[in-house]
Amino acid sequence: MRIIFAGALFILAGCASLSDDLKAAGSKCPQTATVTTFVTCLNDSEEAVFQKDAPENLPDYRAFAAARLDLARNLETGKITSAQFADGTAKAGAQFAALLVQKARARQQEAAARRDEQDVQDMQGVKPTMSTGDMGMGGMGGGMGGMGM
């Protein structure tokens, strides 16, 4: 029962290397007799990837991982069925994915706003190469003071 959806999730968020690292981490978790043991392994392996590749998303990952582990425990104690576990895991994963996409868009918008602000500052900082007083008379200034009159 593989419950790795993270690869597709992080491609959505534009993190292909994160996706590859999560796939590799998940492949280290052997199928076990208990779902809780397997999910604990996934959580630990994936958390290490988040710490390395996307530390800004670590708190959100931990919330997702806790929800997934809670579902695994409920499955093992008979509180929920396999179908409910699968549904609950899919919903938690979809919420996590939506949050990551939302945060990625917010970061992109912030970066665009900073670039726009910098562009405005750069335009305001541009100084003309010639002052109006330097026009005419071959750059000798428009005044008569330099002509001895």
pLDDT of residue 131: 52
Give the pLDDT confidence score for residue 44 in this predicted structure: 94
pLDDT at position 15: 58
Q: Taking the CB of residue 65, how many other CB atoms lie within 10 A of it?
A: 20
- The closest of 7, 11, 68, 18 to 41, measured between CA atoms, is 68
Which 8-state DSSP code applies to residue 28? T
Which runs of E-coded beta strand occur in the chain? Answer: none
- Cβ–Cβ < 8 Å for 113, 105: no
Say if pTM beats, i.e. exceeds, 0.75.
Answer: no
Give yes or no for a contact between 19 and 97, defined as CB atoms under 8 angstroms apart: no
Q: pLDDT tens track of the chain, all 149 residues?
A: 444 455 444 444 455 666 776 777 666 787 777 999 999 999 999 999 999 988 999 999 999 999 999 999 999 999 999 999 999 999 999 999 999 999 989 989 999 999 988 888 888 876 555 555 555 555 545 444 444 44
Q: How much is the pLDDT for 8?
A: 42
Residue 96, both tokens: 């996590």
Q: Helix (H, G, I), strand (E, B), or coil: what is residue 58? A: helix
User: Which pLDDT belongs to residue 60?
Assistant: 96
pLDDT at 120: 87
**CA 87/CA 39 separation, integer angstroms:** 15
Are the C-beta atoms of 142 and 135 separated by less than 8 Å? Answer: yes
pLDDT at 128: 54
